[in-house]
């Protein structure tokens, strides 16, 4: 496991920022991004039930653990998802690869 994951984040306005996320913390990517001030509602608290942490993984997707049934079930309820759609709350920091790029998905009204 790498010590840090270099995370490139593209927000909903298209603004790109870089973060170095420690992989030895018991947090998930939603919590990390929320802590950095990204506007992720996370109303379910990371239980794969609200879909508000939906992001597209543009780089590093193959190095992440596969989506769980719970994650797939939630993604199925969203109006628009893609092959690289993930719920950030289901990506644990220790499972992060050395480098990843995520784009926060648009919020549907």
Q: Are 5 and 57 in contact (CB under 8 A)?
A: no
In 3-state terms the chain splits into helix, strand, coil percentages (rounded to 5) of: 25, 30, 50
Helix, strand counts (H, E) of the chain: 2, 5
Does residue 85 touch ligand FES according to CB under 6 A? Answer: no
The reply to whether 27 sits near ligand FES by the rule CB under 6 A is no
Q: Which of 5, 27, 42, 64 binds ligand FES (CB under 6 A)?
A: 42
3-state SS assignment for residue 83: coil
Among the residue ranges 3-11, 19-27, 39-47, 101-109, the one whose residues contact ligand FES (CB under 6 A): 39-47
- Closer residue to ligand FES in complex, CB, 70/98: 70
Binding interface with ligand FES (CB under 6 A): 30, 42, 44, 46, 48-53, 74, 87, 89
């Amino acid at each position: 496991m790498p010590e840090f994951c270099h995370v490139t984040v593209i927000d909903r306005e298209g603004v790109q920022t870089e973060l170095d996320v420690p992989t030895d913390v018991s947090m998930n990517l939603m919590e990390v991004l929320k802590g950095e001030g990204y506007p992720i509602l996370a109303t379910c608290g990371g239980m794969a039930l609200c879909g508000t942490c939906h992001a597209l993984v543009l780089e590093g997707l193959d190095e992440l653990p596969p989506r769980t049934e719970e994650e797939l079930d939630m993604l199925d309820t969203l109006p628009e998802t893609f092959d690289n759609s993930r719920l950030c709350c289901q990506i644990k920091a220790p499972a992060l690869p050395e480098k990843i790029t995520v784009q926060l998905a648009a919020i549907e009204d």
